[in-house]
């Protein structure tokens, strides 16, 4: 997905590799599990990224209105806007 359209009209460009507007939401439990695997030194860098990728939910942040768009799968996103 090279571009994402926010409801405010902003187009978020995701096509330049890793974007500062793109996040991976990972459960604390998974982070603890990966931390333990790194400490035990059985997890390679490649496996680390595979595990994170398989467990993460993509989150995009609009750089205009600061809404967060959370990937729900199947091309659907739930959007949240700052209240205060
Ligand atoms: Zn926006």
Does residue 15 register a pLDDT over 90?
no
Domain extent for 58: 3-80
Supply the pLDDT for residue 40: 87
Supply the pLDDT for residue 1: 52
How many Å lie between the centroid of ligand 1 and the Cα of residue 31? 29
Burial class, 54, CB count within 10 angstroms (exposed 0-12 / middle 13-18 / buried 19+): exposed
Does residue 55 register a pLDDT over 60?
yes
Kindly report the length of the chain.
84
Half-sphere exposure of 71 (CA within 13 A, CB side): 16
* pTM of the model as a whole: 0.82
Does residue 23 register a pLDDT over 80?
yes
How many Å lie between the centroid of ligand 1 and the Cα of residue 24? 19
Measure the CA–CA gap between 62 and 54, rounded to whole angstroms.
Answer: 24
Instruction: List the single range of 4-8, 30-34, 40-44, 58-62 with lowest mean pLDDT.
Output: 40-44
Give the count of domains, the chain: 1
How many Å lie between the centroid of ligand 1 and the Cα of residue 7? 6
């Amino acid at each position: 997905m090279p571009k994402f359209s926010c409801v405010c009209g902003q187009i978020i460009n995701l096509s330049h590799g890793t974007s500062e507007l793109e996040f991976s939401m990972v459960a604390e439990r998974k982070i603890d599990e990966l931390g333990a695997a790194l400490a035990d030194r059985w997890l390679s860098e490649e496996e680390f990224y595979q595990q994170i990728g398989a467990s993460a939910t993509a989150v995009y942040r609009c750089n205009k209105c600061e809404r967060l768009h959370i990937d729900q799968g199947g091309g659907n996103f739930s959007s949240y806007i700052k209240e205060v």
